[in-house]
Amino acid sequence: MLLKNGSKGSLVLTMQKLLKSIGFDITCDGIFGPGTDKIIRLYQENALLKVDGLVGNQTYNSIISTSKNVTKNYKEQITWVNPKDLKGTLVNSTGASLSAKFKNLVNGAFFWHQSGVGNKIIGWFYSEGKCINYSNYNRYRGTFLVKKDGTVISKRFNDAELMSIRNDMQFVVQGFDGIKANPDIEGTSTAEVGRKCLRPILGFNPKTNKVLIAVFNGDYRDIEQVLKKHSCTVGIGLDGGGSTNMFVNGKSIYKTSRVLNNIIYW
């Protein structure tokens, strides 16, 4: 099977409906035109597939798998953890293959694929006081930071500010600020996080001193409402969409065949 720009018919229509169920803003008319081509290329990039706009068996089956994962359960899922229990690591593995090693995990930082280099984390990523990744673009990004004394700070930091306090950092992950979210100013594509899909977030409730880990169906504009519902005053959005994975106490709540670059675990 091969669908491409100019294709028409029921298979194209089915594919468009699947993409719409995932959260892409796509016209479902059975015509593979420039708009569908653009969405397919974005999907292929997010799914770490060859970006060529051609829909063969690999891309089509990936779209089906992603749609099943996103639509099977829209119920909000949450858990609470102690700040010092948060950790992060590189995995470069599918969510399905991680279930034997991690009882608790969720998606971590955004990442991108650099030709000839591989997957690269976007922003800072610290775990157990050790640097996994840092950046030097000096852009303000939504940051969830746990200091070595357990203090939680979640706000927009730039690279110079984080560099100045790096010796005090126990855990750090960057995404986009969930309060008055404006992903564009943080270098995150609004076209990507503006679509309704599974959205992992971190929040902090200062009254209980607990970290909220949640996955819900929505876009970046919904994050503040979810945070406030759980009495969190701050929080950030993480990598998600069709790549969303969440394991809690050994139970796989969301699991995909997508390759993840990094995860948060506890």
Answer yes or no: are the C-beta atoms of 46 and 260 closer than 8 Å. Answer: no
pTM: 0.77
Residue 71 confidence class, pLDDT cut points 50, 70, 90: low
The shares of helix, strand and coil residues in the chain, as percent rounded to the nearest 5, are 30, 35, 35
73's CB contacts (< 8 A; 6+ apart) are 253, 254
- Tens digit of each residue's pLDDT (9 = 90 or more) over 96-150: 899 889 999 999 999 887 666 677 899 999 999 999 999 987 889 999 999 999 9
108's CB contacts (< 8 A; 6+ apart) are 88, 121, 125, 173, 238, 239, 260, 261, 262, 263, 264
Share of the chain above pLDDT 90, in %: 67
**Domains delineated in the chain:** 10-71 (1.10.101.10), 77-265 (no CATH)
The residues with which 208 forms a beta bridge, in sequence order, are: none
- Tens digit of each residue's pLDDT (9 = 90 or more) over 231-266: 999 999 999 887 899 999 999 998 887 889 999 999
Residue 74 confidence class, pLDDT cut points 50, 70, 90: low
In this model, does residue 73 exceed pLDDT 60? no
| Number of residues assigned to the chain | 266
Neighbours of 122 (CB within 10 A): 21
- Tens digit of each residue's pLDDT (9 = 90 or more) over 184-221: 888 787 777 887 788 999 999 999 999 999 999 888 99
